[in-house]
C-alpha cells in the first residue's frame, strides 16, 4: 500500500469513529435537554461519520470483506444513539416504576 493510502485510511478511520462518538453525545444531550436543535446538530456528526466510512470504502485500498465490515459498522453507528437512548430510558423507567 502507498503511504498516501495508509494516511487516508487512518484519517478517515479517525473521523468515522470520533464523529460517531460526537453524534452519540450531542444526540443524547439534545434528548436530555429536550432541545430539537441540538438533536438536529448531532446529525451533522452522523453525516461526518458516514463520510469517514465512505472514505475508507470507496477507494480500492481494502479488500471487499473489510469494506463490507466497515459499511456494516457505519450503518450500526447511525442507529446506536437512538437505540441506546431508548434502551437507557426504558430501562430506568421500568426500574424506577418497581
In the complex, the residues that contact another protein under the rule CB under 8 A are: 1-3, 6-7, 9-10, 13-14, 16-18, 20-21, 24-25, 27-29, 32-33, 61-62, 65-66, 69-70, 73, 76-77, 80-81, 83-85, 87-92, 94-96, 98
Choice between 3 and 37, CB closer to another protein: 3
To which residue does cell 442507529 refer? 79
Choice between 51 and 73, CB closer to another protein: 73
Distance in angstroms (rounded) separating the CA atoms of residues 71 and 67:
6
Q: Is 49 exposed, middle or buried (0-12, 13-18, 19+ CB in 10 A)?
A: buried
Amino acid at each position: 500500500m502507498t503511504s498516501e493510502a495508509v494516511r487516508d485510511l487512518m484519517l478517515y478511520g479517525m473521523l468515522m469513529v470520533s464523529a460517531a462518538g460526537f453524534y452519540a453525545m450531542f444526540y443524547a444531550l439534545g434528548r436530555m435537554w429536550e432541545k430539537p436543535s441540538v438533536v438536529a446538530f448531532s446529525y451533522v456528526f452522523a453525516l461526518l461519520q458516514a463520510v469517514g466510512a465512505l472514505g475508507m470504502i470507496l477507494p480500492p485500498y481494502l479488500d471487499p470483506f473489510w469494506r463490507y465490515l466497515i459499511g456494516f459498522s457505519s450503518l450500526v453507528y447511525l442507529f446506536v444513539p437512538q437505540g441506546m437512548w431508548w434502551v437507557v430510558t426504558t430501562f430506568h423507567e421500568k426500574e424506577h416504576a418497581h
